[in-house]
Amino acid sequence: MGFLTLLYLFIFSLLAKQFFQGKLHDEDGNVSRYSFDTTADSFRTIFIILTGENWNEIMVQVMVQQEAKAFAAIFFSLMMMIGNYMLLNLFLAILLKFISENGEGDEEEATNDDAIGGSANDLSKSK
């Protein structure tokens, strides 16, 4: 699942580089630190967007730069929805793997206790 997340980041960084190439400017007119000029800058910017940090600010900067404002809004909204869905699935997969590994360990302990002759609680109850 981690590979799919990296693939998703790479694909959307290439798409953003193709559609939104050029210098972005913030509301003061200064050149923004976010950029889609190179693949590395685009990858970094898409990663920042998926973490949720100022994604709407980057979207507004792109919308100001681009003529097709609706396309930029749809692109960023879809990127956030699909990306957060993938990250949620990644988190849940890791969580379920951890829970299943701990659950199997508890079942093995119970099986070993039964094979030995019961747990310590069973022995204390019999006295």
The ranges assigned to domains in the chain are 2-101
Top-level class of domain 2-101: mainly alpha
Tokens of 113: 């206790």
H-helix or E-strand containing 25?
Answer: strand 23-25
Give the mean pLDDT of 68-88: 89
Residue 53: pLDDT band by 50, 70, 90 thresholds? confident
Q: What is the pLDDT of residue 32?
A: 84
Contact 48, 32 (CB under 8 A): no
Greatest extent of the chain over all pairs of C-alpha atoms, in Å: 83
